Amino acid sequence: MKVTPLDLRQAKLRVVMRGYDRNEVDALLSEVADDYEQALRESDRLHQELLRLEAVVTEHREHERNLRNTLLTAQRLSDEIQAHAEQESRRIVEDAESRAELILQKSEGRIEEVQREIDGLKLRRRDVETTLHSTIATLRNALQFVREQDQKERDDKILLHRPRQAVLEPQAQTASQAQASPTSTLMRTLDAAAEG
């Protein structure tokens, strides 16, 4: 199921006793929704930019293909001219080859630039994906923590409503109270108050 920023903004969480501050949770959800929405916009922008750059690369490849075809045509023409005037044909071929080489170098340089831009966009996309994965992992951990707290509260309630065991001897009771955790001390105090 894909979660949208609107889903995060409209999320209604169950209110439980000793839960998180509702305003803080709402603020966090709103902030996460904003970040998620911004990441989606950035992803769309990068996708559009990638499509544009791919079109530029395709156009440059087409130019390169045309240049190669032009070079082949110039070669054929030079062979025909060679039959009439070999010296003139050499000059034309050298001139055509030097111009074609210069254009090819410029095209290859531009292709390398475009490739670097594409690589940079891929890195940025990977960073955005990493950030999204990190955010999702953080939210999962928070959800797990909330679930564990809910389970602990349920366990504490079960302990509160359990029948009381036989009363310990005074010395054993004093020793166990010294070693008891604050939670168990609180439980005994609540039990005593309930019996009183």
In 10 A of CB 87, how many CB atoms?
7
C-alpha distances out from residue 20 to 4, 15, 29, 52, 69, Å: 23, 9, 13, 46, 70
Question: Which single residue is written with the structure tokens 């074609």?
Answer: 100
Q: Which residue has the higher pLDDT, 172 or 40?
A: 40
Mean pLDDT for 157-163 is 77
- Tell me: the pLDDT tens digits for 63-103? 999 999 999 999 888 888 777 877 887 788 888 888 888 88
Q: What is the pLDDT of residue 93?
A: 84
165 — pLDDT class (breaks 50, 70, 90)? low
Distance CA 56, CA 48 (A): 12
Domain ranges of the chain: 5-162, 168-196
pLDDT over threshold 90, residue 159: no
Q: Please tell me the pTM assigned to this model.
A: 0.31
Phi and psi at residue 182, in whole multiples of 5°?
Answer: -60, -35
Mean pLDDT for 7-26 is 74
The pLDDT mean for the chain works out to 79
Supply 81's token pair.
């001219």
DSSP reduced 3-state for 67: helix
